[in-house]
Structure 1
Amino acid sequence: MSKTLAPHPHTASRLALSELAPGAMQSEIRAMTTECDRIGGINLAQGVCDTPVPGPVENEAIAAIRAGHNIYTRLDGIERLRKAIAAKQRRDYGLEYDPETEVMVACGATAGLHAACMALLNPHDEVLMFEPFYGYHVSTLKSMRVKPVLVPLAEPDWALDVDAMRAAVTPKTRAMIVNTPANPSGKVFSRAELESIAELAREHDLFVFTDEIYEYFVYDGAKHICLATLEGMRERTIVMSGFSKTFSVTGWRLGYVTGDAKWMGAMGYFHDLTYVCAPSALQHGAAAGLEQLPAEFYTRLAADHQSKRERIVSALRDAGMEPSVPAGAYYVLAKATRLQGETAAKKARYLLAQTGVSSVAGSAFFRPGRGEDLLRFCFAKKDHDLDEACARLRRL
């Protein structure tokens, strides 16, 4: 009979959380969504994007399930969708990517970033990010023991401080993350700002990971520029985007990455290791959207969300919460100084209790001590829900 050895009384148990786990917690976005669901409120916290799914996208996904497209795909996605993504990048930005070696379908843009970090970064590398930031970007880096280095954007219009960006570079800097149009600020980086970023990347031989998931959500004549189109940037830029926002299918978890063939093989390996492949039948739906939806779909998408933006901005002003009007994406950061609570998290919970409208504490997008006077609101909602939320905010 085998003997079980008792642990030495002075030896720490090996049954313990990892070094990373104690600092990990549910995101404030998820926490506010849970609390909003509990009271049956209107969720302007999470970017769920519950507007209707385009007909060709929905119909083709259903048809694909019924046609038996329910097994694993190639690790980088079905050929049809890879070709459609390559055609889209050519159409929109004049970028040529080989669908066989330079396009990867991912389980959302988040999975694309995860695969890129696994393939191209090492523990203790440093990555420049702009603040306010999207929390999943920071958390993904930390989960790989990579250090995010925050470069604050200048309020009130979130302008790029080139001197601050340059001062943040160290011998350990390996890459930069650029989110444009940006969550949570709605900032759309200008060509001059992107040229400054590109110059720094070339000078210090850095990768740039660009999160362009909101590429079609631009307002007031603003233009989204893909950083990979700038001189010397295609080789070092990993472009991440997806279909969650554009086609209102956030729950499908479908995104993609385009990049130079030198990097994509390793990225595909790590995506396969973690996710195996993106949902098979749903890839056909996304391909149909890219193939069949006309240019007017994208211009109407922007116009519809600009109308939604005007409604939420007006309601926030009437409620005494001055908004920073976004040039892109579908979020608004608004001043919450007049609301009760010592922190932004408490202000968000006070607002939810008073109005049944959930928001996210601005502090979720800044380093500790910043963003405590801000709340973020998502306006990618069905019209009747958004209008009801606006009415409730005005009664505050």
Structure 2
Amino acid sequence: MRTSSSRVAGLGTTVFAEMTEVAQRTGSVNLGQGFPDTDGPDWLLEAARRAIADGRNQYAPGRGVPELRRAVADHQRRHYGLALDPDTQVAASTGATEAVAAALLGLVEPGDEVIVLEPYYDSYTACLQMAGATRVPVTLRTPDFRLPVDELRAAVTPRTSAILLNTPHNPTGAVLTREELRAVADVAIEHDLVVVSDEVYEHLTFDVPHVPVATLPGMAERTLTISSAGKTFAVTGWKVGWASGPAPLVDAMLAAKQFMTYTSGAPLQPAVALALDEGDGWVAENAARMRHQRDLLCDGLETAGFGVLRPEGTYFVTTDVRPLGFDDGLDFCRRLPELAGVVAVPHQVFYDDVDAGRPLVRWAFCKRPEVLAEAVDRLARLR
């Protein structure tokens, strides 16, 4: 088993910033950072404007406005059959990233070990370091990024206190199956572990269902589920997220959050509540659009000669650069603006095991079809 606490927190963020700066300086198509280049639905934006005009501009309750907490509880019941008390089992956050950070600070003690699926969203590294915990990576490997159940079981030690789960998974685009989640649940129950489950891409899956781990037997009482409006409704800059689960876990998250942001986006929260209540049709249409954009980019990358690992969900597709004669994704990404006028992100920044991610590159397909088509045309220069 590998454990690590020495990887420099923020390496991923540093590379994202570098690639975005390069894209702006060189006029490259930026498929690096994962945010849409179109806004969410007009009726959602208008709801926020209306809330501002109606004077909802002062501090919201630290736990979140009542209509948002009620809407989250209704969403979890409607989509997944989970019963939640909106007054004690739901809390708003400044995006999912804050909810993850506050959950780890509130639930994990210094010296604890936390199992994380590798590659992992780069903020997890910093969050665990702030909590004084040691991350224990369990690596999802190419070509299909399936969960290595035996490695998961072997990763548990007497110091393990939690599993930090992410499905649909960034950066690989894998969606854990019910069977894989059952293995996670078995380990969590056997060893009395808390599960912090980051599910921000819950409504962006293609041909496969998203299964919240909290819906499995024995898991509702030990799982803190995290999501946000950013990915679901294409408003990533709003930074309105939420955590739901057993009251003691939600309270632990709030105990840390109150000293971070205390409260979040007062006029945005009622707008998000409206979206959760009435936006299921738009969410389904958006997922269909994203599937089309995924296929457009994947087909173009295949034509350009990449080894394409077509994702089951999220905003991202992973490619292997070795068929094009490269063996280092970081070097490839730094050369790509000059070679083709496109920007992407190397997988290495998401790994402790750098060798496992060395030949892999992540591309974002949450861009307008015409932008993706331009990127595909430019990538044809690599053939």
CA distance in 2, matches of 1:185, 1:345: 16
Aligned counterpart, 1:172: 159
Q: Which amino acid aligns with 2:49?
A: I
Q: Which amino acid aligns with 1:67?
A: D
Is 1:57 matched up with 2:44? yes
CA distance in 2, matches of 1:297, 1:356: 33
Aligned counterpart, 1:246: 232
Is 1:330 matched up with 2:306? no
Higher helix content, 1 or 2: 2
The correspondence for 1:386, drawn from 348, 351, 372, is: 372
Other structure's SS at 2:182 match: helix
Q: 1:126 to 1:260 in 2, by over 3 A?
A: same
Q: 1:89 to 1:62 in 2, by over 3 A?
A: same
Q: Does the 8 Å CA contact 1:127/1:176 hold for their aligned counterparts?
A: yes
Q: Which amino acid aligns with 1:286?
A: V
5+ residue gaps in structure 2? Answer: none
Q: Which amino acid aligns with 1:210?
A: S
Aligned counterpart, 1:349: 334
Other structure's SS at 2:169 match: coil
Aligned counterpart, 2:222: 236
Residue by residue, what CA displacement relative to the aligned partner does 1:50-87 show, whole Å, maximum 9, x if unpaired? 23311221000011111111110100111111111110
Aligned positions of 1:193-232 closer than 5 A: 193-220=180-207, 222-232=208-218
Q: Does the 8 Å CA contact 1:210/1:239 hold for their aligned counterparts?
A: yes
Q: CA RMSD in A?
A: 1.8
Q: Does the 8 Å CA contact 2:348/2:357 hold for their aligned counterparts?
A: yes
Deviation at 1:245, TM superposition (A): 0.8
Is 1:283 matched up with 2:269? yes
Per the normalisation by structure 1, the TM-score is 0.91
CA distance in 2, matches of 1:167, 1:78: 42
Aligned counterpart, 1:296: 281
Q: 1:382 to 1:341 in 2, by over 3 A?
A: same
Is 1:112 matched up with 2:93? no
Deviation at 1:267, TM superposition (A): 1.7
Aligned counterpart, 2:295: 310
CA distance in 1, matches of 2:7, 2:157: 28
Deviation at 1:127, TM superposition (A): 0.7
Per the normalisation by structure 2, the TM-score is 0.94
Residue by residue, what CA displacement relative to the aligned partner does 1:225-284 show, whole Å, maximum 9, x if unpaired? 010011110111010000111111111111110010122223212112101211111112
The correspondence for 1:146, drawn from 126, 133, 146, is: 133
CA distance in 2, matches of 1:154, 1:377: 17
Deviation at 1:299, TM superposition (A): 2.2
Aligned counterpart, 2:305: 320
Aligned counterpart, 1:95: 82
CA distance in 1, matches of 2:8, 2:154: 31
CA distance in 2, matches of 1:342, 1:90: 47
Q: Which amino acid aligns with 2:150?
A: D
Other structure's SS at 1:274 match: coil
Q: Does the 8 Å CA contact 1:56/1:285 hold for their aligned counterparts?
A: no
CA distance in 1, matches of 2:246, 2:39: 34
Identity %: 37
Other structure's SS at 2:377 match: helix
Deviation at 1:300, TM superposition (A): 1.6
Is 1:375 matched up with 2:348? no
Is 1:257 matched up with 2:243? yes
When the two structures are aligned, how many residues end up with a matched partner?
376
Deviation at 1:338, TM superposition (A): 4.9
CA distance in 1, matches of 2:294, 2:190: 38
Aligned counterpart, 1:362: 347
CA distance in 2, matches of 1:308, 1:169: 39
CA distance in 2, matches of 1:175, 1:23: 20
Other structure's SS at 1:273 match: coil
Other structure's SS at 2:357 match: coil
5+ residue gaps in structure 1? Answer: 1-18
Q: Return the index of the structure with the highest Cα Rg.
A: 1
CA distance in 2, matches of 1:150, 1:206: 16
